[in-house]
Amino acid sequence: MSRSEQCLRACLDLSTLLHAHNISHAFSGGILTVALGSPRETEEIFCVAPGFKSVRQACAGSDLFSVQLAPWSSRLYILYNETIPPVQIEIVPAGEEGPRNLDRSTIMGISVGDRGSAVVPFLSVTEFLRKPSSRRDPCDAHDILFILSGYWESIDLNRIVEQDMDAFVKHNPEAKRVWKAIKRRYTS
């Protein structure tokens, strides 16, 4: 099993646990583009959830997961212990690092696992692109270009800060043609 497959399996197992505890959530980060078919290897996994306490309680006593709280940075990490090394998933509060409301307008289900039998909630491509460009690292450019080029017809321009994307396009000219096409869809 490749590392990307292990990461997707960690998302599936954590999602199953959170669903069992009625905790709304959605995954994001580089793992989203891997789930959509990007060839890039990444272990960047974020799980947007309403809060830390409910996720911590859901993982308590689990053999699959352990919890690491980083109080100096106000972050919660979940370790998936079925792999060596463990897969790390950062829990981020809804409304801070993702949409406040996790619903059908902000989440999309992606089939993962053996024969695609299980559906895992991920942020929609629009919500993924809403992350302010000022917080992007160099690896994000690949993910953004992948989303723009492959899923441009699914992007809701009304939910994206155009100035952020214009700044991204200025630094990544290969995105210019697709970004113009998205904007053209909303002006005609």
User: What are the tens digits of pLDDT across the range 97-143?
Assistant: 789 999 999 999 999 876 567 899 999 999 999 876 554 577 788 99
Residues 7 and 48 in one domain: yes
Radius of gyration of the chain from its Cα atoms, rounded to whole angstroms: 17
Number of domains in the chain: 2
Domain span including residue 130: 125-188
Q: Find all residues with CB under 8 Å of 111, minimum gap 6, and list them.
A: 117, 118, 119, 120
pLDDT of residue 117: 74
User: What are the tens digits of pLDDT across the range 170-184?
Assistant: 989 999 999 999 999
Residues 157 and 79 in one domain: no
Among 90, 123, 156, where does a domain finish?
Answer: 123
pTM score: 0.92
User: What are the tens digits of pLDDT across the range 46-55?
Assistant: 999 998 999 9
Residues 72 and 3 in one domain: yes
Q: Which two tokens stand for residue 15?
A: 């999602």
Q: Which of 59-63, 83-87, 135-139, 142-146 has the lowest mean pLDDT?
A: 135-139
Among 123, 146, 162, where does a domain finish?
Answer: 123
Among 72, 101, 123, where does a domain finish?
Answer: 123
pLDDT of residue 73: 76
